Structure 1
């Protein structure tokens, strides 16, 4: 049986492989692409490393076979062992590309923060069960909140006295990463729900630029090109049953002074920078683009749709109810919020 796979390394070269398999084993291999490899005949090492491997070999098995078989002193430019493993897994149908999936886009609707984080769990589990198409969902909310990472210490991250003073609700999400200061209208947040095959063999760090490349294209189209400040951050959760949540929040019109009063870690981050005000560390989308927040979100949704073929969809009543019930049972409870005191 013949197989063909392609993978464009983020910031690197295109890697292509043509394979033949028989009785569950890779029998013939032709690795090719616009990469660079020295010496030239080291390409034989790469092909030989793949020949004879099981057709269901894991990413790490393929990567290690390439590493072990590549002659000493050989150098790969624009690709590496992980890229080879990824393109082989794609060719054999174990890893997927964006275009392999039927995507849906859920536009923003105002939902309480506790239900927003509950929806992340509900929709990710639907992906795992195969009852939901891969989806990107943009958030909207009306209250002030801090959403902390799954493993963060509540007392170390949040000044609860200041949070109460400013009417800021504290909620814990299921993904790791840092705290997000999220007053209504001050940031742009989206969640991506997909099969883990989309990031097959990728570390969390490597998957971020891959999953967010479309965002960079959207931001470039509205002239975001500045070295000043931090626009946003990402977090991720991969379930054991094969589904993935990728979550991103970007500053739009953040009240940085209030943020550093509420977030203890914000004070720590600027303490060794010689900075007296966190405002100097924040470079929100509003000041750079002069665009309304919803205009930016529309550009992002359009860009995602053009790149993936995603279709607009509506959040169904059953999922909304499930999120409401899960919020009440888990995400709105003190037990969950303070699970890491």
Structure 2
């Protein structure tokens, strides 16, 4: 069995192993990381030899930590990351490069239709009728998008939203509210088979699916990092938030993961504060005194037009994993429009948590 894991902010670790009589055998760890002393790599292999095949990543990491000599230096590598690579080998996880990725970037769409397209495209990936897909959104109108489990009245000033012409919709994933305006954010979705994140914890899957974005931002001179559970941040503040939804495949078979991200490009903070109800507890949790400090637009940090930022992000993804142009099919669009009528465009769904 073979498993790989790109450690967020670090290097690639690969593990080859067999399972005999319920334990790990012939374990070999490799990668482009740095490790001192040199013989520590053999100590890691020996620590994993004989480990129960059902041990979780934390238990495997504990075995490694106990075997390493005092003063050992792991650069671009962590014992936890090795544990994850082992679990991915055991789960027979796939890798980004195992797929023919498709890219969709179409004309602006109403907010409710974007919610529906996310669900439809991810269901199509789960059913095997669509390849893994990267979709960049364009917004037809300003909107507040609340998380699946948020209270509508606690998160949004509906009167202010109506006065300002801001649509309010609810997405299928959890997480917090987002304020978007056409041209002021960069929003994208990844619809991927769940085999891509096999062996990863829910929290680890966020960092794993965000790693390519960190590389793309780095190429534009922005040193960004993943901030658990679902933020991307720089020294100047948060620039993006992610959310996920797991969908089961047809007949309960292998499913797919929807991972979508909204990045701040040039947010109108004053308007955002008039529409969103940002409580004191949330502000305290973020360690800030002012909501204005909670978002830091990419426009100021890159000095680049929004379209250029998107192009460079997409080019970075293509260089890593390959990417071919695609589109939403007529059947997919038709089903998404039905979902707007049945679900995402209805008051029942939007106010399902009043």
- Short-chain TM bin: 0.7 to 0.9
> What is residue 43 of structure 1 aligned with on the other side?
44
Contact kept in structure 1, 2:24 and 2:49, CA below 8 Å: no
What displacement does 1:26 show? 5.6
TM-score between the two structures when normalised by the length of structure 2: 0.82
CA–CA distance in structure 2, aligned partners of residues 229 and 9 of structure 1: 23
Q: How many residues align?
A: 330
> What is residue 6 of structure 1 aligned with on the other side?
4
> What is residue 276 of structure 2 aligned with on the other side?
263
What displacement does 1:303 show? 1.2
CA–CA distance in structure 2, aligned partners of residues 251 and 88 of structure 1: 36
Contact kept in structure 2, 1:15 and 1:35, CA below 8 Å: no
CA–CA distance in structure 2, aligned partners of residues 294 and 137 of structure 1: 15
> What is residue 181 of structure 1 aligned with on the other side?
179
Matches within 5 A, 1:183-202: 183-202=181-200
> What is residue 233 of structure 1 aligned with on the other side?
241
Matches within 5 A, 1:102-117: 102-117=100-115
Contact kept in structure 1, 2:240 and 2:262, CA below 8 Å: yes
CA–CA distance in structure 1, aligned partners of residues 288 and 65 of structure 2: 46
What displacement does 1:220 show? 2.6
Q: CA RMSD in A?
A: 2.9
> What is residue 223 of structure 1 aligned with on the other side?
221
Contact kept in structure 1, 2:244 and 2:257, CA below 8 Å: yes
Could you say what secondary structure the match of 1:336 adopts? helix
TM-score between the two structures when normalised by the length of structure 1: 0.85
CA–CA distance in structure 1, aligned partners of residues 248 and 342 of structure 2: 22
> What is residue 202 of structure 2 aligned with on the other side?
204
> What is residue 337 of structure 1 aligned with on the other side?
350
Contact kept in structure 1, 2:28 and 2:45, CA below 8 Å: no
CA–CA distance in structure 2, aligned partners of residues 292 and 81 of structure 1: 40
What displacement does 1:27 show? 4.8
> What is residue 282 of structure 1 aligned with on the other side?
295
CA–CA distance in structure 2, aligned partners of residues 139 and 36 of structure 1: 42
Could you say what secondary structure the match of 2:278 adopts? helix
Structure 2: segments with no counterpart, 5+ residues: 224-233, 250-254
Structure 1: segments with no counterpart, 5+ residues: none
What displacement does 1:94 show? 1.6
> What is residue 63 of structure 1 aligned with on the other side?
57
Could you say what secondary structure the match of 1:253 adopts? coil
